[in-house]
Amino acid sequence: MRRIIFATGNKGKLREAAGILGPEYELLTPEDFGITEDIPETGETLAENSLQKARYVYERTGLDCFADDTGLEVDCLDGAPGVHSARYASDGHDFDANIAKLLKEMSLKGPDAPRSARFRCVVTLILSGEVFQFDGRMEGSIAAERVGTKGFGYDPVFLPAGQTRTLAETGEEMKNRISHRGQSLRAMAAFLENRK
Ligand code: ITT
């Protein structure tokens, strides 16, 4: 059993990480160490923000930890919302408002605009003070409207490549197999396995 802190305040990410990493891992959260404030994310890239979140928790606990920074890149919006995905519509991590803004901005591009998009994820692991990063991505497209109730964030409008159902319809097991987070966390787990 490996105990490690996942430096996140996002319960959806935490649930997925537990499913991806399996029972070999006990995931602690910043809350378990009295860190309840929003961890600052002021970088200009996913890699910078991911490192910033992991460092924040490592500096306060001295324990091994990892963080996940994820962005949704939409081609017809020149890669937006990208690194600003959490605060696209407002400052408050409001999923519904973020999706509403995304669909509105895309409709302004006209009916023929490409709907292709991808999630990118950078996981930063701090292990005995050393930093390692793992990338993952999932290609797909943005649906015309929200469908499904599972998952979190932009899942109700994300159609993985080659699929006709959104991530919020298919649910976590399928998502974890193909997702950006699944790829980066499995890469991290393989790395940790090799270090044993
Ligand atoms: P932490 O920083 O506390 O981990 P966060 O929600 O702020 O949580 P990010 O900065 O990585 O995380 O957020 C990017 C945004 O994209 C945020 O609104 C998420 O809800 C959303 N998001 C991240 N991963 C997603 C996924 O797998 N499916 C759908 N939306 C996702």
Question: Is the Cα dihedral 143, 144, 145, 147 positive or negative?
Answer: negative
CA-to-CA separations, 40 to 4, 68, 146, 150, in angstroms, rounded: 20, 13, 30, 28
- The minimum-distance atom of ligand 1 relative to the CA of 67 is 4
Q: What is the pLDDT of residues 47-100, one digit of tens each?
A: 999 999 999 999 999 999 999 999 999 999 999 999 999 999 987 778 999 999
By DSSP bridging, strand 25-28 and strand 158-160 are unpaired
Pocket residue to mutate for ligand 1, from 41, 55, 70, 169, most atoms within 8 A of Cβ: 70
Model pTM score: 0.97
For 133, the token pair is 């990063």
Residue nearest to atom 22 of ligand 1 (CA): 153
* Backbone angles phi and psi of 3, in degrees to 5: -95, 130
- The residues assigned a catalytic role are 69
For 156, the token pair is 């109700």
Q: What is the pLDDT of residues 179-195, one digit of tens each?
A: 999 999 999 999 999 98
Ligand 1 neighbour 153 (Cβ under 6 A): yes
User: What is the reported pLDDT for 28?
Assistant: 98
User: What is the reported pLDDT for 56?
Assistant: 98
Which pairs from 47-50 meet CB under 8 Å and 24+ separation? 47/122, 47/124, 47/133, 49/83, 50/122, 50/123, 50/124, 50/133
Ligand 1 neighbour 176 (Cβ under 6 A): no
**CA 191 distance to own-chain centroid:** 20
Residue 157: which residues within 8 A CB-CB, separation 6 or more? 99, 102, 103, 142, 143, 145, 146, 147, 166
